[in-house]
Structure 1
């Protein structure tokens, strides 16, 4: 395969940091991804060292796209929900580039990256109108599209739900931490989706994150949501693919 068809994507999450070269013609990983656990505390220095480890695992020396679980403007973190607060104000693009020996680096919000990949290669492909891609993991990430165009950094996981941040009630991690049944968790998710539907009236919800592999266990339990509700096609690789797409766009 030609090197020019591939760009490296790395997905920084609250529990793991994973990456792989991406075949941007197919919208899929070119090699099996490599994953390391997110250090605790998840400080910039510790996390960026893990990013270097993931990239060097493949001997990669070209452009790199990286996701981050927070608001990103011009490569700099403006929020940090599920990682150390010392990230706020950090120029992630420069920090990662320096650790990778000056390689070109592009950084974007993790859910935005997953959403871009799903819209181009996955469950949102060819869809118009308003589409909301949600990533259910350590928190809840969101990516909102109107006629295929991204509204960046929406952070809808922090909307209030039952007096709490939505992601403190309905994330995949909360389901595990509180040992909720699929039915209990689906009920919480249903309330959250109904709230989003009231605000945005989307035609389609795409449900991503690692738990999307088990979509058959909870999506059929969600009732009363008018929008179409589908699992992410790229599942938990969407962030890696979207990161690589963003790096290609800025190369």
Structure 2
């Protein structure tokens, strides 16, 4: 394998509270250095966030193309929604903004999509060539749908209406915390959610991610689906790894 083939990628994960980034070993699926985290500026305007992204890149002296997650629908580089960030993002050409502010080429993608790609290529669904649904359970429910390893972007399956409610308001980890649900009670909520998704998509594998995946032994036994369901393997690093992978593949 040539030196060029082994060159790391770089991923940045933009969240509502922190912006995290690191170089990534694209073959091993792990960070190639300790990640840097800088608090997300408030308000999280496009210019302010892009400036922090530039600081992360400068910290590692990274001069090449990089991948960047964003907590919103990102359609061909254009931000269509805004969650936990300033509404001024809507309609912004994120690719152009990042390039003008940082001086590097960027690929900006939905955060759940990036995590899904990482889990499919290098994590819990590695080498699985069927239909894979990756969900991130946190403040909301993020989703990534892959078939044959290829991403179907911006699925937003956390916003399905179930029993008259937006699904993530009832079944996200934030709902468990807000309502003081036991692991068994939350498992029943997740079962209702996943069974609804199963009836629509018939996936071959479900990967449950997000920070709570670290505690999968407590709640996953209470989730009953016909589809095999496994906890995510890459945990909080999935977004950074997936963003780096997608940027590298984009050339």
Between stretches 104-113 and 180-189, larger displacement belongs to 180-189
Partner of 1:127: 128
- Contact 1:82/1:138 (<8 A) preserved: no
- Stretches of structure 1 that go unaligned for 5 or more consecutive residues are none
TM-score (norm 2): 0.92
SS of the residue 2:83 aligns to: coil
Between stretches 64-73 and 44-53, larger displacement belongs to 44-53
- Stretches of structure 2 that go unaligned for 5 or more consecutive residues are none
- Contact 2:44/2:86 (<8 A) preserved: yes
RMSD: 1.9
TM-fit CA distance, 1:3: 9.8
Question: How many residue pairs align between the two structures?
Answer: 249
Partner of 1:17: 19
The within-5 A match list for 1:118-197 is 118-197=119-198
Structure 1's 97 and 147: CA in aligned 2 closer, same or farther, altered over 3 A?
same
Structure 1's 2 and 231: CA in aligned 2 closer, same or farther, altered over 3 A?
same
Looking at structure 2, the residues matched to 117 and 52 of structure 1 have their Cα atoms a distance apart, in angstroms, of: 23
Between stretches 112-121 and 178-187, larger displacement belongs to 178-187
TM-score (norm 1): 0.92
Deviation string, structure 1 residues 99-122 (Cα, Å, up to 9, x no partner): 21x111111111111111111111
TM-fit CA distance, 1:4: 5.6
Looking at structure 2, the residues matched to 201 and 84 of structure 1 have their Cα atoms a distance apart, in angstroms, of: 36
Partner of 1:60: 62
Show structure 1 runs of 4+ deviating over 6 A: none
TM-fit CA distance, 1:2: 7.5
